[in-house]
């Protein structure tokens, strides 16, 4: 059996940065270190951070004195303000691309557009972006949700950084039919686009695909959905043990991709597990990554 790892897979720039900031804080700080909500959507990474001394808090009200890390998805301004009032030190690990999306949303509001965000309204990134606006924004995950919405004349559109361009475009198309003026900031990050693109390419060349990452990770889930459209024999796994040996029966080539919140050590563990299951030799593992 041959194992191929997609050219672009695993930790993106923003996640790597957030992870490093958290590890550094745990090493350097004498007081307690917390992240507000899990730092990234990968339970294994969060567990490892916990072992290094980084706790997860859901409510800043419960924070004792210490250092609070704002996770990669960002947070609305009131969280920063509250933490300051409570005398909690802050480390802002918001992904710079999420920060940019927050600024784009604010620019659209300032210019008088009704802001529409293409994304999942329950996702912390989306909450952090719309939380930066004065007015409530329209959040739409799928084109169907637009039915019944009276589309305003001037609409400003942005996306959750992990959206697929296809979904973004579908929603823009519907707005385009009714609105007179539309301003769009394409805030989908390159990591998302590149991971999707290289996973699709790989999926066309293999017999089975494994998409590795948190089940609670928006970008991994979307990656898995897109890949499944190309290759029905695709499976989203969080840890190596989830791999069902029957998926590999009679398969010659296995492809691996991983979301932006999946660390290298889980990708490596999946490769090792695959080798033990199917007996692939070292020289049969192809890292296509640049």
SS3 of residue 32 by DSSP: strand
Alpha helices in 29-85 (DSSP H): 43-51, 77-85
Q: How far is the CB of 185 from its own copies (least distance, A)?
A: 6
Q: How far is the CB of 143 from its own copies (least distance, A)?
A: 12
Q: Nearer to its own copies by C-beta: 90 or 165?
A: 165
Judged on CB neighbours under 10 Å (0-12, 13-18, 19+), 178 is middle
Q: How far is the CB of 226 from its own copies (least distance, A)?
A: 14
Q: Nearer to its own copies by C-beta: 159 or 209?
A: 159
- CA 19 – CA 40 distance, rounded (Å): 8
Q: Nearer to its own copies by C-beta: 50 or 183?
A: 183
- CA 71 – CA 49 distance, rounded (Å): 13
Q: How far is the CB of 165 from its own copies (least distance, A)?
A: 5
Residues near its own copies (CB under 8 A): 165, 168-169, 172-173, 176-177, 179-186
Of the listed 114, 125, 145, 242, which one is catalytic?
125
Q: How far is the CB of 177 from its own copies (least distance, A)?
A: 5
Q: How far is the CB of 176 from its own copies (least distance, A)?
A: 5
Q: Nearer to its own copies by C-beta: 4 or 168?
A: 168
SS3 of residue 157 by DSSP: strand
If you write DSSP's letter for every residue of 193-234 in order, what string do you get? HHHHHHHHHHHTT-SEEEEES-TT-HHHHHHHHHHHHH-SSE
Determine whether 125 is an active site residue: yes
- CA 234 – CA 137 distance, rounded (Å): 35
Q: Nearer to its own copies by C-beta: 88 or 118?
A: 118
| Pairing assessment for the beta strands 32-36 and 54-57 based on DSSP bridges | parallel
Q: How far is CA 88 from the centre of its chain?
A: 27
Q: Nearer to its own copies by C-beta: 181 or 252?
A: 181
- CA 23 – CA 37 distance, rounded (Å): 16
- CA 237 – CA 255 distance, rounded (Å): 13
Which contacts (CB < 8 Å, 24+ apart) does range 120-123 have? 120/160, 120/218, 123/73, 123/160, 123/218
- For the annotated catalytic residues, the residue numbers are 125
């Amino acid at each position: 059996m041959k194992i191929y790892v997609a050219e672009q897979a695993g930790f993106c720039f923003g996640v790597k940065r957030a992870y490093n900031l958290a590890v550094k804080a745990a090493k350097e700080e004498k007081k307690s270190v917390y992240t507000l909500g899990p730092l990234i959507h990968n339970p294994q990474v969060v567990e490892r951070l916990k072992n290094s001394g980084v706790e997860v808090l859901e409510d800043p009200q419960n924070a004792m004195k210490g250092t609070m890390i704002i996770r990669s998805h960002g947070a609305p301004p009131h969280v920063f303000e509250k933490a300051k009032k409570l005398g909690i030190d802050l480390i802002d690990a918001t992904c710079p691309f999420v920060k940019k999306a927050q600024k784009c949303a604010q620019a659209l509001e300032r210019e008088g557009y009704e802001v529409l965000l293409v994304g999942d309204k329950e996702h912390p990134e989306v909450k952090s972006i719309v939380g930066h606006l004065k007015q409530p924004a329209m959040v739409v995950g799928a084109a169907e949700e637009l039915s019944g919405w009276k589309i305003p004349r001037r609409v400003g559109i942005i996306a959750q950084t992990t959206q697929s361009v296809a979904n973004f475009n579908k929603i823009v198309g519907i707005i385009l039919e009714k609105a007179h003026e539309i301003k769009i900031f394409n805030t989908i990050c390159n990591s998302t686009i590149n991971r999707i693109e290289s996973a699709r390419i790989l999926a066309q060349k293999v017999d089975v695909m494994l998409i590795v990452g948190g089940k609670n990770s928006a970008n991994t889930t979307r990656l898995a959905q897109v890949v499944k459209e190309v290759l029905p024999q695709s499976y989203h796994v969080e840890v190596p043990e989830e791999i069902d040996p029957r998926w590999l029966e009679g398969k010659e080539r296995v492809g691996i991709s991983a979301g932006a919140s999946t660390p290298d050590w889980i990708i490596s563990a999946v490769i090792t597990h695959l080798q033990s299951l199917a007996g692939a030799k070292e020289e049969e593992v192809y890292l296509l990554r640049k």
